[in-house]
Amino acid sequence: MQAVNAAAVRPALLIPLMGTAAGGLALGAHAILTSGDRPALLLLAGSAAYLAGAIAVTALWNVPLNDTLALAEPGGPAAEQWAAYAPQWSAANHVRAAGALVAAAVLVRALSG
């Protein structure tokens, strides 16, 4: 998992991740600046769900777990390290996926009028 985490920090992952975060911020700003009609409120809710559920969870939960795992000795007590890491990371990943799914559903609803 250490190798996977090290390989993940590259433009092929970070550009789409940060690009969608910027898009979420732009949609939220657009929703705030437009009238308070239903599609604008849905855009705001969808962008907030994405930013909180996917981006914030990644930054505040997954990345710290990955950083802690990166410090672990590769030849150390792997079973204990993995037992402490895997359940927490999986829970964070489930929250992140749920946040992204909620955001997608709300944004699709906003587009459908």
pLDDT > 70? residue 1: no
- Residue 76: count other Cβ atoms within 10 Å of its Cβ: 9
Q: What are the pLDDT digits (tens) for 21-63? A: 999 999 999 999 987 788 899 999 999 999 999 999 999 999 9
pLDDT for residue 47: 95
Q: What is the mean pLDDT of residues 10-17?
A: 85
**C-alpha span between 4 and 37 (Å, rounded):** 44
pLDDT for residue 99: 96
Q: What is the mean pLDDT of residues 11-18?
A: 86
Kindly report the pTM of this predicted structure.
Answer: 0.82
- What single-letter amino acid sits at 64? P
Q: What are the pLDDT digits (tens) for 64-102? A: 988 888 887 777 776 787 788 889 999 999 999 999 999
pLDDT for residue 78: 67
**C-alpha span between 49 and 97 (Å, rounded):** 11
